[in-house]
Amino acid sequence: MATLPNPLPQLAADPSGRALGLELPPGRLIDATDEGPWHEPLLWHAGRTASSGNWARLGSPGARAGLLPVLVDVGGTQGGPEEWELMPGEMSYPGDHDAEEVLADFWGDDDTDGEFDEMLAPFGPEWPGLAAAPRLEADPDARAAEVADSLLDEGSWFKEARLALVPARRSADIPAAIGWSGPLNHENDTARICSVLRSWEDRFGIRVVALTFDQLVLSVAAPPTTQAEAEAVAAEHFAFCPDNIAQGHHETLQEYAAHEIVGRRIWSFWWD
């Protein structure tokens, strides 16, 4: 995968990050992959549970240093990122893929033998195309900070969230930059998933806000506001992550659109 110069090695000698213009709390550098240590750190994460305001306080200075923020859950049954079987060597570059081609390829997967035809109405076997971009509702980075704080509220599904910093060109690239293998049963090259995230970044103002072993959480600054708009986006969600609908709480794509997309500021995905 094509990468930018990685500032993280500097934190080995300067854990505070002051040379990068940062004021970091104690934390750790992660270089563990499914095949042993990577040749450089893949991410840094704080050594203590994240709290409200951490994203806003560290995110902007981190971005200026070439490090983008994301919350990582270290308290799940699969442990933290050092135990997630990261696979950076298997990743291509997100910019080498076309989002619509990737989604059309997923939509056209014929392994289902018509299993989801009724679920996917009003769409048929032909890829319906990309949804139009709604009006931007908020600044994408401000929305990301707002969503990050909301994920830390009491009752959140996060077990133990830590703020992490990742060397990446844009937020959409974060999963591929660390070699995240969450979608492995759907797509082996997470850069293809990130090409779709880039398109959503452009059209819906998404940011990658949180990762667990197999979950991805996005903030949305331009959520669809009508059922028709939401159904077009729901088709993209199904191609991107069929398990969200096929193994979710909604029986049809139309129900999913109404309950999970219209006006929603958070999109969450889980791959079985």
Give the residue, 272 or 8, on which the prediction is more confident: 8
* pLDDT bucket at 5, cuts 50 / 70 / 90: confident
Q: Using one digit for the tens of pLDDT, what is the confidence trace for 175-212?
A: 999 999 999 989 999 999 999 999 999 999 999 999 99
Q: What is the pLDDT of residue 1?
A: 54
Q: Are strands 215-219 and 67-73 parallel, antiparallel or unpaired?
A: unpaired
Q: Using one digit for the tens of pLDDT, what is the confidence trace for 60-81?
A: 999 999 999 999 999 988 999 9
* pLDDT bucket at 247, cuts 50 / 70 / 90: confident
Q: What is the pLDDT of residue 245?
A: 86
Separation between Cα atoms, residue 17 and residue 103, nearest integer Å: 39
* pLDDT bucket at 4, cuts 50 / 70 / 90: confident
Q: What is the pLDDT of residue 197?
A: 98
Q: What is the pLDDT of residue 110?
A: 47
Q: What is the pLDDT of residue 211?
A: 97
Q: What is the pLDDT of residue 155?
A: 64
Average pLDDT over all residues of the chain = 92
Q: What is the pLDDT of residue 114?
A: 60
- Give the contacts of 67 (CB within 8 A, at least 6 positions apart): 7, 8, 20, 22, 44, 165, 166, 167
Q: What is the pLDDT of residue 88?
A: 97
Which two three-digit tokens encode residue 251? 């029986």
Which two three-digit tokens encode residue 177? 């930059």
Q: What percent of the chain has pLDDT over 90?
A: 82
Please say if the pLDDT value at position 264 is more than 70.
yes
SS3 70: strand
Q: What is the pTM of this model?
A: 0.94
Please tell me whether the peptide bond between 128 and the residue prior to it is cis, using omega within 30 degrees of 0.
no
For residues 30-42, give the mean pLDDT.
96
If 0-12 CB within 10 Å is exposed, 13-18 middle and 19+ buried, where does residue 40 land?
middle
Residue type, 129: G
